[in-house]
Structure 1
Amino acid sequence: MSARILIVEDDRTFRGFLQTVLRGAGHAPEAVETAEEGLVLLARGQYDLILSDLKLPGMSGLDFFRAARGEGSAAPFILLTAFGTIEEAVAAIKEGVADFLTKPLKDPETLRTLVGKHLHAGSRERDYLALKETEAAGLPPVELIFAGKVMAEVHGLVREVAATATTVLLQGESGTGKELVARSIHLYSPRRQGAFVAVNCAAIPENLLESELFGHERGAFSGAVQTRRGKFELAQGGTLFLDEIGELPLPLQAKLLRVLQERRFERVGGSREILSDARVVAATNRDLGEEAREKRFREDLFYRLNVFPIELPPLRSRLDILPGLVDYFIRRFARLTGKELSGIDPEALEYLRRYHWPGNIRELQNVMERAVILGRGRVRREQLPDFSARAQASAPTEAPRLEEVERQAILDALEACGGNRRLTAEKLGISKRTLQYRLKRYGLIGDEE
């Protein structure tokens, strides 16, 4: 695995030796003489690992580590130390330094092994956490999300854009797997060593959203008893996923635009500018172009986000993967419930194939969880919900318009939840704010509500 490595070492001969060894191992090392120069490079870009001498002219290696963490760098940090300062290096590990290496080196292999250990450990941990989060959310594995003919083009676009720092806008209906695609962009990218930080713009109260994104200083408002880093800082060197970006209030849209344009921001109640090195991937189930034309979304922000749009197709357009998804969910929920099921009857699978799936993969997940709970031996037609009122006609030309299907789905969910909008939003797999927007759009409530 090739990695970008920052070397800070004041001994020119030893600095050159470190570069030669790491370059020979397939990495891309950059070397400077002082910690101050190192901070300048960190402000310009992210590194996969930092190698620094403990004793430096000016700022020490430990102070350099503290400053780098303060600026949001999450790269593993290895200190180089002489035998006489090993105790200092051990103390530094308690502060978060990943490891230390004594000089002079016994042989180049010692350096290569230690660097490889921390690069691979970081990569494994991030991949493991991403998989655990995906499993906890009940989402299918990446290879199943990208399966099928329709998604082949999407997978190609994801692979191409992942290698860049370009802002990406994921568009598609609710439940199509936008967050999983965003995670894939992160894991395919050079930033995979950094954090993947997700924010649902519709799930956080408007008065708290600014602090959530940009952080706040102590005393910035009532209850701000200590300084807190926001999501942009937590995502330094990694990827920030802004889900349901269409729900972002207009005042915050202006602040987001500034970050995207100038790569800097300030915490709430603060005056110090913080450089941003977070790659932004945004997602929406709205037509942001139409929202911009109707002045509900800033046009300049839309163009800034829409640099590289990727449209995720609905489940009804990729029914070739339905058997694979059904099998995955049956096995997953059977394992969670301790039931033994051998699959699904062909009649039941065909019944699922004829449905239009307005809630997409998330809706299928909910349907299969219920079916597994009711199932005995195999999932059968009688264990599935009654889709007859909204099932697709066999001829594509007779299929209902998406707006009509969505409106009816909302009405049905509202009725099933006794008019409770919070429960309705949860049932549909959308935010309460999105439900409110849809209710107004389809004339189901007045503007004053």
Structure 2
Amino acid sequence: MPHTTNILAVDDEPVFRFLLERHLREIGYNVLTASDGLQALEILERQTIDLVLSDLVMPRMDGLQLIGMVQKLYPATPVIVITAHGSVESAVEAMRRGAYDYLEKPYNPEDLRITIQRALDYQRVVQENEQIKGLLTERYTFQSVVTVNPAMKQVLELASRVAAARQTTVAIYGESGSGKEVLARAIHFAGNGLPAEFVAVNCAAIPEHLMESELFGHVRGAFTGADRDREGKFSLARKGTILLDEIGDMPLPLQAKLLRVLQERVYEKIGSNTPIPVTCRVIVATNRSLADLVAAGRFREDLYHRVNVFPLTIPPLSQRKDDIPILCGHILEQLRQHLGKPLPGISQQAMDLMLEYRWPGNVRELRNCLERAAILTDNELIRPVHLGLAGAAPEAVQGAGVDAGATDTSRVSYQLTLPVEELSLDALNEQILGITLERCGGNKSRASQLLKVNRKAFYRS
């Protein structure tokens, strides 16, 4: 335990302040004390404080006012409330205002040690991730979602408006791969002034018997196998955002509990009766119609109305094909950095093919397709044969080693192997014949059809 960690203990009772200071020093912390909020602020102004422990009821400036000032002036400094037994509601209010956690008097020294360590660990992770999150903020902004499509632009406009309303639940609809999580992250980063956690939960991937613990956590001994306390996703997302992806797959019994959480803005760990306030933004996402699920009896109608406060529907890529060229350019730029290859671009034949394709996997499929093509190319334009879109490609693309672009003689390009000054007309014709034959996999009939020459010309070359 670092001895340079400074903790400020704030309480108006001298005896309690003395005992608290002694316990903290025994653990190994450097301790400063204050009798009320005003004195605490004076110490914070002249001394670096890593964590504040504060009572709630104090003269001049109480604990709630102190929390507000610490949040405003020293937002990276966590505050833990120590309150008298029976004042749990006040402690919950303190957490709503920004306190990290709370303990009841008389506190258990081991609980105090663990709570402080968690708060300091959280502070350290926040500080270490601040730079990374700055990069993520740049990546997941509304400006980073490239589009020229009017419908998609309207979605981004609506999303930017709701970003500031952190208490409003947002429902994002869209096909798989359309970018629901990307949009959720953009809302998160636009609406959080400080680095805050973004926690994504795939409701379809978690077994039903584990989902409640996954979301809300549990206390030791809550059920067989619960040998230690466990933090849930709502706890990890404190002051940030929790994304409940594929919420349509959430079991009905858990839907009732989620409804209570959204209505009352509190939850309880399994095995505990202590209410914990919800301090995070809630975003839900689904690739299905929740209204249809309600009609089928598979989704609670009251929960539907609770999560569908601000719906956003991302149009599928098949309905915004005008975005494909600009998305390709954006993805290729990322792949250039990722693969360390020049990737000069995409041939017109390949672009035409992508514009004709339906893209059932949406932007995710487009990205995967281009990454595969970028790996297969060797400092050349991406051609249809590199795309691997067998379901949409013409017959020439599906033939192994055959360039679909070669079906159009107006778009065939060649790279000469000899300097122009050394080429005669015969030498030029010979090179064109050789390159075309190679691109056609040695198929002389196909090469002769492509160049509209007699098949015998390839025997003379």
Q: Of the candidates 349, 353, 364, which is equivalent to residue 366 of structure 2?
A: 364
**Could you say which residue in structure 1 is the equivalent of 2:133?**
126
What is the one-letter code of the residue matched to 1:256?
L
Aligned counterparts of 1:18 and 1:333: Cα–Cα separation in 2 = 51
Compared CA separation, residues 257 and 355, structure 1 to 2 (3 A):
same
Structure 1 counterpart of 2:160, one-letter code: R
1:199 is paired with a residue of what secondary structure? strand
**Contact 1:76–1:97 (Cα < 8 Å) also in 2:** no
Deviations 1:208-250 (A, max 9, x none): 1111100011122232211011011111222111111111111
Contact 2:36 2:58 in 1 (8 A): yes
* Match in the other structure for 1:289: 291
Please tell me whether residue 385 in structure 1 is matched to residue 388 in structure 2: yes
Aligned equivalents of 1:330 and 1:172: distance in 2? 24
Root-mean-square deviation over aligned CA pairs:
4.5
- What SS is found at the alignment partner of 1:379? coil
The aligned residue for residue 236 of structure 2 is: 234
Q: Which amino acid aligns with 2:269?
A: R
Counterparts in 2 of 1:33 and 1:72: CA distance versus 1, 3 Å: same
Distance 1:206 1:53 in 2: 37
The residue aligned with 1:263 is 265
Alpha-carbon distance between aligned partners in 1 of 2:223 and 2:96, rounded to the nearest angstrom: 23
Q: Take 1:186 and 1:32, find their aligned partners in 2: how far apart are those partners?
A: 34
Q: 2: distance between equivalents of 1:341 and 1:353?
A: 20
Matches of 2:77 and 2:59, distance apart in 1: 9
User: Residues of 1 paired with 2:301 and 2:145: CA distance?
Assistant: 31
- Contact 1:73-1:237 at 8 Å conserved across structures: no
How far the C-alpha of 1:354 sits from its partner, in A, is 0.9
- Partner residue in 1 for 2:408: none
Q: 1:98 to 1:249 in 2, by over 3 A?
A: closer
Q: 1:183 to 1:172 in 2, by over 3 A?
A: same
SS in 2 for 1:218: coil
Q: Give yes or no for contact 2:81–2:99 (8 Å, CA) kept in 1.
A: no
| Separation (CA, whole Å) in 2 of partners of 1:166 and 1:285 | 21
Structure-2 separation of matches of 1:255 and 1:246 = 15
Cα separation, 2, equivalents of 1:212 and 1:219: 16
In 2, Cα distance between the equivalents of 1:209 and 1:251?
11
Given that residues 142 and 160 in structure 2 are in contact (C-alpha distance below 8 angstroms), is that contact kept between their aligned partners in structure 1?
no
**Residue in 1 that maps onto 2:25:** none
- Quick check: 1:48–1:75 contact (8 Å CA) kept in 2? no
State yes or no: 1:147 paired with 2:154.
no
Q: Distance in 1 between matches of 2:371 and 2:160?
A: 32
Q: How does 1:389-408 map to 2 (within 5 A)?
A: 389=392
**2 CA distance for matches of 1:379 and 1:35?**
71
Give the aligned residue type for 2:381: R
Aligned 8 A contact 2:36 2:60 in 1: no
SS at match of 1:204: coil
1:183-202 matches, within 5 Å, as: 183-190=185-192, 192-202=194-204
Aligned to 1:446: none
Name the structure 2 match of 1:442. Answer: none
Q: TM-score, normalised by structure 2?
A: 0.60
1:216, 1:227 within 8 Å by CA — same for their partners in 2? yes
Structure 2 residue identity aligned to 1:219: G
State the shift of 1:301 in Å: 0.4
- Secondary structure class of the residue paired with 1:309: strand
CA distance in 2, matches of 1:141, 1:259: 29
Alignment check: 8 A CA contact 1:48 1:193 kept: no
Matched, 1:273 2:275: yes
Aligned counterparts of 1:219 and 1:36: Cα–Cα separation in 2: 40
What are the superposed Cα offsets for residues 307-327 of structure 1, whole Å, 9 maximum, x if unpaired? Answer: 100011111222222122212
| Greater RCO (CA < 8 Å, at least 6 residues apart) | 1
| AA at the equivalent of 1:198 | A
Distance 1:312 1:200, change over 3 A: same
1:332 is aligned, of 334, 337, 359, to 334
Counterparts of 1:94 and 1:232, CA distance in 2? 16
Residue 40 of structure 2 is aligned to residue 38 of structure 1: no
1:193 deviates by 3.6
Equivalent residue runs for 1:36-435 within 5 Å: 37-38=62-63, 47=71, 50=74, 96=120, 124-128=131-135, 142-148=142-148, 149-164=150-165, 165-190=167-192, 192-376=194-378, 377-387=380-390, 389=392
Amino acid at match of 2:159: V
For residues 204 and 117 of structure 2, what CA distance do their matches in structure 1 show? Answer: 39
Secondary structure of 2:156's counterpart equals helix
Q: Which has the greater radius of gyration?
A: 2
Tell me the TM-score normalised to structure 1 length. Answer: 0.62
What does the per-residue CA deviation read over 1:397-427, in whole Å, with 9 as the maximum and x for residues that have no partner? xxxxxxxxxxxxxxxxxxxxxxxxxxxxxxx
Alignment check: 8 A CA contact 2:176 2:287 kept: yes
Closer/same/farther in 2, CA of residues 263 and 36 from structure 1, 3 Å limit:
farther
Question: Which deviates the most, 180-189 or 281-290?
Answer: 180-189
Alpha-carbon distance between aligned partners in 2 of 1:58 and 1:222, rounded to the nearest angstrom: 31
Shift of 1:252: 0.7
Q: Distance in 2 between matches of 1:57 and 1:287?
A: 43
Q: Deviations over 1:294-345 (max 9, x none)?
A: 1011111011000100011111222222122212333333443443321110
Asked whether the 8 Å contact 2:347–2:381 carries over to 1, the reply is yes
Report the AA paired with residue 182 of structure 2: L
Deviation of the 1:175 alpha carbon: 0.7
CA shift for structure 1 position 52: 12
Change (3 A) 1:338 1:188: closer
Distance 2:302 2:96 in 1: 28
Deviation string 1:161-193 (CA, Å, 9 cap, x unpaired) is 111120000001111111111111111114654
User: Cα gap change, 1:268/1:41 in structure 2, threshold over 3 Å: closer, same or farther?
Assistant: farther
3-state secondary structure, aligned to 1:241: strand
Pair 1:334–1:52, CA change in 2 (3 A): closer
